[in-house]
Amino acid sequence: DTEVTQTPKHLVMGMTNKKSLKCEQHMGHRAMYWYKQKAKKPPELMFVYSYEKLSINESVPSRFSPECPNSSLLNLHLHALQPEDSALYLCASSPQAGTSYEQYFGPGTRLTVT
Amino acid sequence: SQQGEEDPQALSIQEGENATMNCSYKTSINNLQWYRQNSGRGLVHLILIRSNEREKHSGRLRVTLDTSKKSSSLLITASRAADTASYFCATDDVTGTASKLTFGTGTRLQVTL
């Protein structure tokens, strides 16, 4: 199974809501990533987990809170978001952290903050 | 920042023609990767080329790397309508965090019948 799944596909939330994005892979990968992508822009790295430990946080605001409960799951908890946080949120995984490995991407969650 | 610049921003060709897109970056790298993204979907890895390699092939794809010019090109031969997508290069930075890829600005390719 070479698939990364993400749920939900679409999410609309108000600025006072709390919601979570979920990502799952069963390839035995030990690195997982969250990216944010605005329309017609490249993906921007948010977080990297390596062996379930947070290894990179790209100075992301605290209203985004990542969690890696086990080696197959990655969550992104959202709280008090702003309209400018509306974007496509992409999860990815790779066998190990490091740029000599290809990354496998999920289809993304399209988030709209109202 | 290391973000690559891709050229052209958009490219429209007819089916059967070749498509070439270029990526330039700023600092020395260990690896450069190319990804494809269909509209609003996840990215798909195409090719990884290491800094000591000059050319790689995968099916109809050919990637070159010129580290002296800090540039790479992706050639798609005999293009098909299904190749319509955005293409991104992604680089690391030997002077920075080795685990991090930074994506270029992307080329939007349209292949018409």
**pLDDT number for residue B87:** 98
Question: What pLDDT shows up at residue B98?
Answer: 57
Q: Give pLDDT, residue A1.
A: 67
Mean pLDDT of B26-31: 91
Q: What percent of chain B has pLDDT over 70?
A: 96
Q: What pLDDT is stored for residue A109 in this prediction?
A: 98
What residues of chain A, 10 to 69, have a C-beta less than 8 Å from chain B?
31, 41-45, 48, 50, 55-56
Structure confidence at residue B47 as a pLDDT band (50, 70, 90): very high
Cross-chain residue pair A48–B88, CB shorter than 8 Å: no
pLDDT, average across residues B34-61: 96
pLDDT in tens, A14-42: 999 999 999 999 999 999 999 999 999 99
> Are the beta carbons of A42 and B41 separated by less than 8 Å?
no
Evaluate if residue B96 carries a pLDDT over 80. no
In whole angstroms, give the CA distance from residue A108 to residue A87. Answer: 10
